[in-house]
Amino acid sequence: MKTNFKFKRREQDVIELVDALVPATDRKVKANDNVALISDKVLQHEHTQLQTRAEDLQRRADAQPERITNGTMQGRMQDLIKEIDVHVALIEKTRATAKAPFLTAGRVVDGFFKDHLLRPLKTARERLADIGQDYLERKAERARVRLGERESRNTKTADLARTRSAVGGSVGTLEDVWDYEVTDAEALRPEQLWDYVSAEAKEAAIRAYIRINAPKQHVENWNPLAGVRMIPVSRAKYY
């Protein structure tokens, strides 16, 4: 069992304190303002050719028949698919290029607040918290000695270590939690953990198993996983 240092203060006090410390000029801008730095109209003007080509391909795709009856028709449809694939790749490349300056700006903003302001403060807090945890652990241990083994077993560590500031009203205490260390990954028993694995993670594991272990050609009755029905399918591929 691991005992963590825990610092508590009334939530409303913290909110009011933070609001009071934010400069008035900064309070004018709120995170939910979401003022866009670029508009759809600007993008449409800058990428008219891309849009015209996309609309033309869409019209041609809509005009294709719902059922192919001969190889010539199939060939024309495949050619159109290839044209669409080429234009999709061009759109994606252009999108990435247009978005790059905004991503760079986002990294600059994150860098200023996270690296310049938050990281030093969080590092300082961690150092203070470690110092505080050492004191609280020693305080709790002294309390256990005073109470004796039997009584201390029935007393929460939080009650033994709790310390309230006479000035600011903050409370420091110890919280009993469990931590872990994997000493032998091969010894882990899947049946003990499976119920705690999300459905998405289970499906990802199944897909990974199929990708690595599935036969290259379809074979009958390949169902190696209990609870999973393998379904052979053939998907169209165009290039």
Residue pLDDT, tens place only, 104-123? 999 999 999 999 999 999 99
Please determine, for residue 27, whether its predicted confidence score (pLDDT) is greater than 80: no
Looking only at the bridges linking them, the beta strands covering 2-8 and 163-164 are unpaired
Residue 70 DSSP one-character state: S
Half-sphere exposure of 102 (CA within 13 A, CB side): 8
Decide if 185 contacts 168 (C-beta within 8 A).
Answer: no
Helix intervals (H) in 68-180: 71-110, 119-147, 149-153, 157-161
Which pLDDT belongs to residue 202? 94
Q: Is 175 exposed, middle or buried (0-12, 13-18, 19+ CB in 10 A)?
A: middle
Average pLDDT of the residues of the chain: 88
**Percent of the chain topping pLDDT 70:** 85
Q: pLDDT tens digit string along 73-92?
A: 999 999 999 999 999 999 99
3-state helix, strand, coil in the chain (%, to 5): 65, 5, 30
- A 10 A CB-CB count for 60 gives 13
Q: Taking residues 26-39, report their average pLDDT.
A: 63
**Percent of the chain topping pLDDT 90:** 73
Which pLDDT belongs to residue 149? 85
d(CA 19, CA 16): 5
- pTM recorded for the entire structure: 0.65
Where are the chain's structural domains?
Answer: 2-24+34-213
Which pLDDT belongs to residue 38? 82
d(CA 156, CA 177): 12
